[in-house]
Chains A and B, each alone.
Chain A
Amino acid sequence: MSETSHSSAGVDASDGHAAEALDAAAHHGGGHEESIGDTVLHHVTDGNTLELPFVGDVHLPEISIGGLDLSITRHVVMMWLASLILLLLFGFALRRRQQVPRGLANLLEMLVVFVRDELAIKNIGEAGRRFTPYLLTTFFFILTCNLLGLVPLMATATGNISVTAGLAGMAFVMIQWGGIREHGLVGYARSIVPHGVPIWLYPIMLPVEVVGMLVKPVALCLRLFANMLAGHFIIVSLICLIFVLKTIYVAPVSVGFAVFIYLLELLVAFIQAYIFTMLTSLFIGMTVHPH
């Protein structure tokens, strides 16, 4: 078993999850104490240890405040890392503000202008300028977290439902705040049901609209979470397939598919960040201008 695990490790050393799956299977002696489902879950979900390349497992502090588990887990460290990367990237690119940006500043400005013009102003109108910082934060944070999950030895923070629930909760707050700021509290309450609806339809329309208001952020949360989780799940499952079938000859097929899914994951990372931001800006536009 150790010879097969070394040769497979040489083939796909770039995929950190695969390397960890190989380590886990080698340690667990072919998956007898731990079922394959547990091994797959172990690599995809959150944990209290951080796996560093030369140091091994680092146990992260477990902090519990008033019964709430606020321990610093792997995904929390990944979110901090994403924030740090964004701060350093933008700070470094904008050291010298030139009239015509070059290089990294040009790329970042392209993305920023895209979010501002195509997403914020097109969906929300002129009031979109006020929401642009929030939309930019959402877009870049989700994008960085998604891409960070593809790097070997790192985890996907957005593959944790708590993280995406937090992002969706913030989107909900921004959507309601946009409507309340534009129309005032009473005007916003009146705009929940669309104009021109006869009064006898209100008992049906009001619950429907309120449920719709609550379901839209839930859908945002689940869409991002499921997309990010599914890709990593498939990659780890494909590599674990080698150990379930206990033969090396399935490795070319398995690794080939895993590389294909890996590239698809790269595309999905960008698309899901864009979709989240676009839908948030669309919903904000719908409450700010309820036509």
Chain B
Amino acid sequence: MENYLHYFGAALGAALAVIGAGLGIGRLASAALEGTARQPEMAGDIRTTMIIAAALIEGVTLFALVICILLALK
């Protein structure tokens, strides 16, 4: 089993990373939608900021994903 433990670690790591990203970007999207609903004329600015923040959060997730891929392909 020691030979295959790194597959388990990689899968667990990827799953946790995706949970973190999903929660984070979900909260971001909900805040953006609420802000747009309150002030529809700010929709463009809010959308731009939302995309930027989503890309940054996604970046952190993909750091973890790269480590998981390295582990799974060891």
Contact = CB atoms under 8 A, between A and B. Distances in A.
A226 interface: yes
B4 interface: no
Main SS at interface, chain B:
helix
Interface in A231-264: 233
Interface in A257-291: 268, 271-272, 274-275, 278
A59 to B, nearest CB: 25
Main SS at interface, chain A:
helix
A225 to B, nearest CB: 7
Interface residues of B, number: 13
Interface in A34-54: 37, 41
B52 A275 contact: yes
A83 B12 CA distance: 41
Interface string A190-226: 0000000000000000000000000000010011011
Given A271-B55, A272-B55, A278-B52, A226 B73 contact: no
Contacts of A268: 55
A58 interface: no
A150 to B, nearest CB: 18
B31 interface: no
A227 B62 CA distance: 6
B66 to A, nearest CB: 5
A26 interface: no
Nearest to B54: A271
Given A222-B62, A223-B59, A226-B65, 18 more contacts: A37-B72, A219-B59, A222-B59, A223-B62, A223-B63, A226-B59, A226-B62, A227-B58, A227-B62, A229-B66, A230-B62, A230-B65, A230-B66, A268-B55, A274-B52, A275-B55, A275-B56, A275-B59
25 contacts: A37-B72, A37-B73, A41-B73, A219-B59, A222-B59, A222-B62, A222-B66, A223-B56, A223-B59, A223-B62, A223-B63, A225-B66, A226-B59, A226-B66, A227-B58, A227-B59, A229-B66, A230-B65, A230-B66, A271-B51, A271-B55, A272-B55, A275-B55, A275-B56, A275-B59
Interface of A: 37, 41, 219, 222-223, 225-227, 229-230, 233, 268, 271-272, 274-275, 278
